[in-house]
Amino acid sequence: MSAYTAENWPITSCMLGLDTTTRNGTPAQVAGPEFWKKQLAKIANQGFTNVELSDAWLKPALLSSGERAELVSIAAELGMKIPSVHIQRVSVIEPGKEAENLAYQHASIDAAAEMGISVYSTGLHQPFNKAQRDALWFWNGQGPIDPVGDTEVWNTAVTRIRELARHAQDLGMITSLEMYEDTYIGSSDSAVRFVEDVGTDLVGINPDVGNLVRLHREVEDWRETYAKTLPYANYWHLKNYTRDEAADHSYYATAPSTLRDGVINYREVVELAVSLGYSGILTCEHYGGDSISVCGENQRHLRGLLAETLAS
């Protein structure tokens, strides 16, 4: 039986729709409290009482203690909490940057703990390369690929993630690893093997299956991916895409959609998650268009699905 109701289940919004600079080009990182409040108000206005802090918008490790406290205070003024942080594209096995990225992740854990954050979400995806930057949708450009079958690199990734997860655990946080294509957490079987190697008492999976169904290639059926990964899930990014493909796999087309209208049937997936005992945060994500409004619509859709599921 879930500890939550449909009304109080913690659902957060991502920050993908927020401005990353002021009108005069000042980055969000140094723009200050007035700018931060104006941006966060857009999320609060969609009815969210929780928001995921993304270091793509604001890097908590690079803020002063006073600035971190100010950000938490601003969120509270708007009626929101910051229960989770997502640290992305700083892989601990990125060639040439392993030590730097590991140190940054440790600093991010310390900063998140200071802010009262309870979930540390990260992964093994790396910064965009030229092909990704040049594509209309970055996921249609071929990004970096974790070396397949390289036991040494795999074990290095496992060891470093275990180190980060123990640090987070010591500070009262759980660690979740986001599924992302061409990484060691890029398929259901590989993701499960990876978290088992790290230690499931230390990490769980963030089953962001939307990252996979959007790819213009043959992909694992989303039902199978969720069936294998949800038992290990402790945090969850939810987004959806339309998808069309030829039977001979000669043609693919995908595009962002609401949770309701994409190829993943979230009614089915939410029912499965609840039946498996999932009780973690649900984070609404969306790329393109008015991301903030779509996330707001997705939150309302999710609460409706939860109401039906929990009543049955």
Q: Is residue 151 part of a domain?
A: yes
Q: Is residue 184 part of a domain?
A: yes
Our count of domains for the chain comes to: 1
How far is Cα 227 from Cα 210, in angstroms, rounded to an integer? 15
How far is Cα 42 from Cα 247, in angstroms, rounded to an integer? 42
30-34 mean pLDDT: 97
Q: Is residue 1 part of a domain?
A: no
Q: Is 55 helix (H, G, I), strand (E, B) or coil?
A: coil
- Tell me the three-class secondary structure of 107-154, residue by residue: HHHHHHHHCCCCEEEECCCCCCCHHHHHCCCHHHCCCCCCCCCCHHHH
Q: Is residue 5 part of a domain?
A: no
What is the percentage of the chain residues whose pLDDT exceeds 90?
Answer: 99
Q: Is residue 64 part of a domain?
A: yes
Please give the pLDDT value at position 3.
85
Range of the domain at 246: 11-311
| The model's pTM | 0.96
CATH code at position 179: 3.20.20.150
163-170 mean pLDDT: 98
**Residue given tokens 């690199």 in the structure block:** 153
How far is Cα 280 from Cα 189, in angstroms, rounded to an integer? 22
Is the per-residue pLDDT at 1 higher than 60?
A: no
Q: Is residue 142 part of a domain?
A: yes
Mean of the per-residue pLDDT values of the chain: 97
DSSP 3: S
209-223 mean pLDDT: 98
For 109-141, how does the pLDDT look when each residue is reduced to its tens digit (9 = 90+)? 999 999 999 999 999 999 999 999 999 999 999
15-36 mean pLDDT: 97
Q: Is residue 4 part of a domain?
A: no
Q: Is residue 52 part of a domain?
A: yes
Long-range contacts for 66-72 (Cβ within 8 Å, ≥24 apart)? 68/111, 68/114, 68/115, 69/115, 70/33, 70/36, 71/33, 71/36, 71/115, 72/115, 72/116
Residue 293, CB-side half-sphere exposure with 13 Å CA sphere: 3
What does the block give as tokens for 160?
Answer: 């470093």
